[in-house]
Structure 1
C-alpha cells in the first residue's frame, strides 16, 4: 500500500510560530510532527511514502533527506488546498493509498484500522468541532461533511486521514478533499467512517501544549549529558548529549531536554516540559507544562508555565508567564482560551516582564517591568 503525506501548508492559524517554519516541522516533545506520522506508517509496514511539500519546501526536503525512511517528494507549486496538493502526487500513485496530514499526530493503531478499508475516512470526537470538517454518519457510512460550521450538528470530525482507490482523482475537481468526498457520496459511492484510536491536531498555538503533553508520554528515559549528583529526577526524563544539569535541580518527568543545554543550578522542571537544543535556564527558574524550542534562554528567578517559546527567545531574569482565561482574536475569530504565553522567534524581554495570555510575534522587544497581554505583532517594541 502507498501513503501520501500532505505537508505543503503553512498552518496560518499557528502564527507566529509558522512564519519561518511549516507546521509539519514544528517540534513536539523535541521531534517534528511529521516524524510521528512517518513512524506510524512504518510500524504498519507501509514504506512507499510520498510527501507533498510547498511552503518553505527546501527546509522540509532537507529534513526528510536526513531520515532513514524511503520517501518520495513532490511539490505543490501554489498552496491552494488539500485536493490540489493531492493532485500533485497523482503521477506517483499506482495502487490503493492512504492520505494523511503531515501536521497532525496519528498513531499506528489508527492507521491499522483504516488501511484495510477502501474509500474510508478516519473520524474522531472533538470538543470544538467547528474548527474541523464535521461528519454526519449513519450506520457507519458517511452521509455528509460540513466544513467548519458555526453550529455543528455533531462532535464527530474528520481527522484528514483517508483511504482511497486511485479513481478518487476523477473527483478532485475543486481545491479541497472534502468536496471530492461530497461528490463521491452524491454519486452513490460509499465512504466508510472509521473511528481513530488516537489522533491530535494543533489548530492554534496553545494547542501545541496538549500535543506536547501527549507525546512526552511516549519518550524513553535516557541520560546522555552531565547531571550533578545532587539533582533529583522523578518519572521519565530524557537528556541529550552535551547538556549540563546543575546542582540541586529537580526534574519531574515526563520531561525531554535536548542537546548542549545548560540547566541550573537550583532549577525546577515540572511535568510536560520539552526543551530544545542549546537552551539555557539560569538558576532558580521554574518551568511547567511548556514547550521551549531551540536556543531559548530564560534568566534567573523566572517562572514559566503553559508557554510555547519559539527558537532563539531571550528572556532576562524574573520573567513570568501567567496563565489566564481571556479572549484573543485569531484571524476573523474571537476565542476564549487559557494559557501563559506564545512567543515567536527571537523575542527579547528585559527583566521583570510578565506575559499574561499573550501571543508575541517574531522579534518582539519588551522593555523592563512590562506586563503584556493579547496579540503583539511581529517586530513590535513594547516600551
Structure 2
C-alpha cells in the first residue's frame, strides 16, 4: 500500500511559528510533526510514501532526504487546497492508498485500524468540532462531512486521514478533499467510519503544548551529555550530546534537552518541557510545560511556563510568562485562549519583561520592564 502525506500548507492559524517553517516542520518533543506521521506508517509496514510539499518546500525536502526511506517528493507550486495538493501526486499513485495530513499527530494503532478498509475516514470526537470537518454517521457509515460549520451537528470530526483508491480522483471537482468525499457519498459510495485511537491537531500555537505533553509520554530516558554530580534528575529525561547540566539544577521528567545546551547552575526544569539544541538556560531560571526551540538564550532569574519560544531568541534576565485567560483575534476570529506566551523567532526582550496570554511575532524587540497581556504583537515591532 502507498501513503500520501500532504505537507504543502503554511498553517496560518499557528503564526508566528510558521513564518520560517511549514506547520509540518514545527518541532514538538524535538522532532518535526511530520516525523511522527512517517513513524506510524513505517510501523505498519508502509514504506512507499509520497510527500506533497509547497510552502517552504526546501525545509521539508531537506528533512526527508535525511531519512533512510525511499520517500518521493511532489511539489504543489501554489497552495490551492488539499484536493489540489493530492492531484499533484495522482500520476504516482498505483492503487489503494492512505491520505494523511503531515501536520497532525497520529499513532500506529490508528493506522492499523484503517489501512485495510476500503473507502474509509478516520474520525475522532473533539471538543471544538467547528475547527474541522464535522462528521455525521448513519449505520456506522459517513452520512455527511461539513467543513468548519458555524454550528456543528456533532462532536465527531474527520482527522483528514482517509483510505482510498485511485477511483477517488473521479470525484474531485474543486480544491478540497471534503467536497470530493461528499460527491462520493452523493453518488452512492459507502464511506466507512473508523475511530482513531490517538490523534491530535494543533489548531492554534498554544495547542502545541498539549501535543508536546502527549509525545513526551513516550520519551525514552537517555543521558548523552554531562551532568554535575550535584544536579538532581528524576523521571524520564533525555539529555543530548554535548549538553551540560550545572550543579544544583533540578530536572523532573518527562523532559527532553537537545545537543550542546548549557543548563544552570541552580535551574529548575519542570515536567513536559522540550528544549532544543544549542539552548542556554542561565542560573536561577525555571522552565516548565514549555517548548524552547534551537539557539535560544533564557537569561538568569527567568520563569518561562506554559509557553512556546521560537528559535534564536534572547530573553533578558527576570523575564517571566504567566498563564491567564483571554481572547485573541486569530485569522479575524475572536478566540478564547489560556497560556503564557507564544514567541516567534529572533525575539529580544529586555530585563523584567512580563508576558501573559500573548503572541509575539518574529524579529520583535521589547525594551525592559514591559508588561504584555492578551495581545498580538506584529512581526518586526519595537515595543518601548
User: Could you tell me the TM-score, scaled by structure 1's length?
Assistant: 0.99
Q: Which residue of 1 aligns with 2:255?
A: 255
Query: 5 Å matches for 1:106-117?
Result: 106-117=106-117
Q: Distance in 2 between matches of 1:197 and 1:186?
A: 28
Q: Where do 4+ consecutive residues of structure 1 move more than 2 Å? A: none
Could you give the per-residue CA deviations for residues 284-304 of structure 1, whole angstroms, max 9, x where no partner exists?
A: 000110001101110101111
Q: Which residue of 2 aligns with 1:352?
A: 352
Q: Distance in 1 between matches of 2:221 and 2:281?
A: 21
Q: Distance in 1 between matches of 2:325 and 2:214?
A: 22
Alpha-carbon shift at residue 247 of structure 1 (Å): 0.2
Alpha-carbon shift at residue 193 of structure 1 (Å): 0.6
Q: Which residue of 2 aligns with 1:273?
A: 273
Alpha-carbon shift at residue 212 of structure 1 (Å): 0.4
Q: Which residue of 2 aligns with 1:81?
A: 81
Q: Distance in 2 between matches of 1:275 and 1:172?
A: 43
Q: Does residue 160 of structure 2 align to residue 157 of structure 1?
A: no
Alpha-carbon shift at residue 233 of structure 1 (Å): 1.0
Alpha-carbon shift at residue 249 of structure 1 (Å): 0.4
Alpha-carbon shift at residue 159 of structure 1 (Å): 0.2
DSSP 3-state at the match of 1:13? helix
Q: Which residue of 1 aligns with 2:381?
A: 380
Q: Which residue of 1 aligns with 2:329?
A: 329
Q: Which residue of 2 aligns with 1:119?
A: 119
Could you give the per-residue CA deviations for residues 25-73 of structure 1, whole angstroms, max 9, x where no partner exists?
A: 1000000000000000000000100000000111111110011122011
Alpha-carbon shift at residue 138 of structure 1 (Å): 1.4
Q: Does residue 181 of structure 2 align to residue 193 of structure 1?
A: no
Could you give the per-residue CA deviations for residues 247-279 of structure 1, whole angstroms, max 9, x where no partner exists?
A: 000000000000000000000000000000000
Q: Distance in 2 between matches of 1:70 and 1:223?
A: 31
Alpha-carbon shift at residue 169 of structure 1 (Å): 0.7
Alpha-carbon shift at residue 336 of structure 1 (Å): 1.2
DSSP 3-state at the match of 2:357? strand
Q: Distance in 2 between matches of 1:226 and 1:75?
A: 43
User: How big is the alpha-carbon RMSD for the aligned residues of Structure 1 and Structure 2?
Assistant: 0.6
DSSP 3-state at the match of 1:306? strand
Could you give the per-residue CA deviations for residues 167-201 of structure 1, whole angstroms, max 9, x where no partner exists?
A: 00111120000000000000000000100010010
**Matched residues, number:** 383
Name structure 2 gaps, 5 residues minimum: none
DSSP 3-state at the match of 1:98? strand
Query: 5 Å matches for 1:359-370?
Result: 359-370=359-370
Q: Which residue of 2 aligns with 1:53?
A: 53
Alpha-carbon shift at residue 218 of structure 1 (Å): 1.1
DSSP 3-state at the match of 1:160? strand
Name structure 1 gaps, 5 residues minimum: none
DSSP 3-state at the match of 1:289? strand
Q: Which residue of 1 aligns with 2:286?
A: 286
Q: Distance in 1 between matches of 2:158 and 2:96?
A: 20
Q: Distance in 2 between matches of 1:264 and 1:202?
A: 31
Q: Which residue of 1 aligns with 2:226?
A: 226
Q: Which residue of 2 aligns with 1:181?
A: 181
Alpha-carbon shift at residue 355 of structure 1 (Å): 0.3
Q: Distance in 1 between matches of 2:9 and 2:258?
A: 27
Q: Which residue of 2 aligns with 1:19?
A: 19
Q: Which residue of 1 aligns with 2:299?
A: 299
Alpha-carbon shift at residue 84 of structure 1 (Å): 0.2
Q: Distance in 1 between matches of 2:291 and 2:141?
A: 39
Alpha-carbon shift at residue 16 of structure 1 (Å): 0.4
DSSP 3-state at the match of 1:152? coil
Alpha-carbon shift at residue 149 of structure 1 (Å): 1.0
Q: Distance in 2 between matches of 1:77 and 1:352?
A: 45
Alpha-carbon shift at residue 204 of structure 1 (Å): 0.5
Alpha-carbon shift at residue 95 of structure 1 (Å): 1.5
DSSP 3-state at the match of 1:91? helix
Q: Distance in 2 between matches of 1:12 and 1:331?
A: 8
Q: Distance in 2 between matches of 1:234 and 1:200?
A: 28
Q: Which residue of 2 aligns with 1:105?
A: 105
